[in-house]
Structure 1
Amino acid sequence: MARDDDGPAPTRRRVALTGISSRAWEHPADRGALTALRELRGFDDVVRAFFGMWNERGFRLSYLAAAIRVDHRQYPRVHQRFVEAATALDVPELPELYVTQSPWLDAESIGLERPFIVLSTACVQQLDDDELRALLGHELGHVRSGHAVYKTILSILTRWAANLSWLPVGAMALRAIMAAMLEWWRKAELSADRAGLLAGQDPAASLRLLMKLAGGGDLSQIDTAAFLEQAAEYDGGGDLRDSLHKIRMTAWSRYPVPVARAADLRRWIDDGGYGRVLGGDYPRRDDDGAASASEEIKAAADSYRESFGRSQDPLVGLLRRLGDGATDLGEWVGGHAGRARAWMGAAQEAAARAAGEAAARARRTGTGGGDGAGREGSGDGGR
């Protein structure tokens, strides 16, 4: 059976993390990218101009028309878990929350000016209170970190890459930017998992949630330790052929695989990061303006270096030997984090150019866009 031995008792009072900054749960690679993006002059204005080409109000209306808006009268159980998650993360104003019909475990955060959250009916039916609280905290983590703002760019670049596939040079440049942004988004998912854990403050429930996303609907037949053993086998088992298959599986994916997410969350707990935050040792929102991009990028580089040094993957082991030690290779990998500003700047330039062209077309035709590239999903469907 799934074990709950490292989670608090159901009646334990959750700690309200007063004034907590999203930097407290952001993965170092995610945090470094976000800090550099926020420091780019006018970047948010460009993104918001971009988003103006799509109709956020249309998305909200579509859910208002065809989904259930959660409050104390509709899905009161879900609403109560939502309030509890928001209280733990000190979210002053609840985003709108909708439940939509779907047999898949799925959740997403949508929008830019006023992000809202959507859950599938499968989440309501298949998740217990603790798992549901962790999932809602995951989505609140996306909203509080501002991931939707930058996910918009990724959605647009994906469309551009498809439209420019006939132009090799342009497509290659876009694909390079997309590859970097997809790597960032995978780390953003790890950040949101940590936010979910801080919201629910129940490690066992957060791991159960990931197990259910991986296909373990009946947890009476699933074992948490065995699931984490899968994660270890995925990381270090097999030979170079398996390493190449993993690259193929993840290089163009927006989401880390569930076993990797479980392993990263377990590592954050075991390394003491989770306990320090619960103990009150966390950055405050009031200090966000003083965050240093150079320090955060250095932390991202250190994170990649540590990850390479720790990995048991056969290909990584080979590269370590060719690189004459984990330190040299770690510096090589960490250097990619230091180049974050380059691809962010390229994305900004491309976004500004496209926004200008779109605005010119709108002036000529008197029309605006509405195809909804602004959707931001957490990808929690386990698909």
Structure 2
Amino acid sequence: MTIDDENRPARQRVTLTGISSRAWEHPADRGALTALRELRGFDDVVRSFFGMWNERGFRLSYLAGSIRVDHRQYPRVYQRFTEAAATLDVAELPELYVTQAPMIHGEAIGMDKPFIVITTAAVEKLDDDELRALIGHEIGHIRSGHAVYKTIMMILTKWATNVSWIPIGAIALRAIIAAMYEWWRKAELSADRAGLLAGQDPAASIRLLMKLAGGGDLSQIDTAAFLEQAAEYEGGGDLRDSFHKIGMTAWSSHPVPVARAAELRKWVDGGDYGRILAGEYDRRDSDGNASVTADVKAAASHYRETFENSQDPLVTLARRVSGGAADLGDWAGTQAGRAANWASTAAGAAGRAARRTSRPADDTNGSDGGTSAP
């Protein structure tokens, strides 16, 4: 199955009955999530202490100043919403709002009762298939529970600011935050896969990313040329470009659009997408059997493979200096395990801090726990 299937006849989407979010989660995302989920009770602490007040306030602000989508308001959007949810086997629909903004954008907000917000630009500039992919992306964030864990990153960022006068403490926290940003970028790739599974139209998912990069008019944009940009970004240029890319991405929560398109194509061409549509996927009723060790190993394997196959000039130089990819590939692979361990350690520390300073639920303040995407 390939991305370039625009001319294929339309077919009915496959309902992915009982599908677990683990089925679409990127290996690096899944490894960190599994480790974090092992911290029993931490989700409840974060939700109660950091989410309740701001989550209610954010919902109220959108209820007051945006349009809540249902069969009467934005019925076209509501139809795409119900289709995406049904395909991903989501029985209880979160609330969906459309807010006025000139950029194509969507986000999932909240932890206790999350809701989705998309912009008027998305409604106006996306066709039905692209809109279904966008909404599926946000449903994917909610199903994976990403908002709870992104809150940890927000907490740590504040801590890093507070202890910036302590060199060792600041350096240690910044290392953890950098690892969590790396995890969050992989979480965005997970949500892209959820969006594709919701719409089951690879061409539409790529068009969505093209519109995010270049606006809503694709009449003068070519899919093949866009993917050529992705290949040039990944492996073109020299060492200066490699260092620029590090600076562009190290503290960013989102991969660049061309990289997201390339990753989605790899996922499709690698066969995972087709296997899921054929019924080979993790079910929700087996989530309790997830193994931290197995998922961290899968994340390490991903990083190792990425290092060994990367065309980036800096990575290529590192392989040459090392006399081969194997040793440095093993080193790169261990970073996935370290990122998961850092995330787990950070989560525990945040949870302990929350418990020490916790107040009654009706007097809480903190992060809204939103996930901004795509």
Helix, strand or coil for the counterpart of 1:98? strand
Q: Deviations over 1:32-63 (max 9, x none)?
A: 11111111233223322432574321111111
Asked whether the 8 Å contact 2:296–2:340 carries over to 1, the reply is: no
Q: Match for residue 186 of structure 1?
A: 185
Asked whether the 8 Å contact 1:102–1:122 carries over to 2, the reply is: yes
Helix, strand or coil for the counterpart of 2:370? strand
Matched, 1:276 2:275: yes
After the TM superposition, which residues 24-103 of structure 1 pair with which residues of structure 2 at under 5 Å, given as runs? Answer: 24-52=23-51, 54-103=53-102
Q: Deviations over 1:128-169 (max 9, x none)?
A: 000000000000000001111101111222222233333323
Q: Are the structure 2 counterparts of residues 109 and 241 from structure 1 closer, same or farther at C-alpha, using a change threshold of 3 Å?
A: same
Q: Separation in 1 of the partners of 2:298 and 2:53?
A: 35
RMSD over equivalenced CA pairs, Å: 2.0
After the TM superposition, which residues 1-383 of structure 1 pair with which residues of structure 2 at under 5 Å, given as runs? Answer: 5-7=4-6, 9=8, 11-52=10-51, 54-359=53-358, 362=359, 368-370=363-365, 373-380=367-374
Asked whether the 8 Å contact 1:107–1:119 carries over to 2, the reply is: yes
Deviation at 1:324, TM superposition (A): 2.5
Helix, strand or coil for the counterpart of 2:97? strand
Deviation at 1:216, TM superposition (A): 4.0
Unaligned runs of at least 5 residues, structure 2: none
Q: Separation in 2 of the partners of 1:268 and 1:304?
A: 15
Q: Separation in 2 of the partners of 1:352 and 1:95?
A: 27
Aligned residue type for 1:373: S
Q: Separation in 2 of the partners of 1:201 and 1:53?
A: 35
Asked whether the 8 Å contact 2:3–2:265 carries over to 1, the reply is: no
Helix, strand or coil for the counterpart of 2:101? coil
Helix, strand or coil for the counterpart of 1:94? coil
Q: Separation in 2 of the partners of 1:220 and 1:342?
A: 46
State the number of aligned residues.
373
Aligned residue type for 2:207: R
Moved more, 131-140 or 33-42: 33-42
Q: Are the structure 2 counterparts of residues 278 and 288 from structure 1 closer, same or farther at C-alpha, using a change threshold of 3 Å?
A: same
Q: Deviations over 1:270-317 (max 9, x none)?
A: 111111111111111111111111011110001111111111000000
Unaligned runs of at least 5 residues, structure 1: none
Aligned residue type for 1:177: I
Asked whether the 8 Å contact 1:28–1:300 carries over to 2, the reply is: yes
Asked whether the 8 Å contact 2:31–2:298 carries over to 1, the reply is: yes
Q: Separation in 2 of the partners of 1:19 and 1:28?
A: 20
Asked whether the 8 Å contact 1:53–1:358 carries over to 2, the reply is: no
Q: Are the structure 2 counterparts of residues 70 and 337 from structure 1 closer, same or farther at C-alpha, using a change threshold of 3 Å?
A: same
Helix, strand or coil for the counterpart of 1:339? helix
Q: Are the structure 2 counterparts of residues 90 and 235 from structure 1 closer, same or farther at C-alpha, using a change threshold of 3 Å?
A: same
Asked whether the 8 Å contact 1:109–1:115 carries over to 2, the reply is: yes
Q: Deviations over 1:189-232 (max 9, x none)?
A: 00000000000000100000000001142101000000000000
Aligned residue type for 1:242: D
Asked whether the 8 Å contact 2:31–2:340 carries over to 1, the reply is: no
Helix, strand or coil for the counterpart of 1:55? helix
Aligned residue type for 1:280: G
Asked whether the 8 Å contact 1:211–1:227 carries over to 2, the reply is: yes
Deviation at 1:347, TM superposition (A): 1.0
What TM-score results when the alignment is normalised by the length of structure 2?
0.95
Asked whether the 8 Å contact 1:107–1:139 carries over to 2, the reply is: yes
Deviation at 1:4, TM superposition (A): 8.2
Asked whether the 8 Å contact 1:25–1:191 carries over to 2, the reply is: yes
Aligned residue type for 1:129: D
Q: Deviations over 1:326-382 (max 9, x none)?
A: 2211110111112244312331233134314532xx58xx99344x522322332xx
What TM-score results when the alignment is normalised by the length of structure 1?
0.93
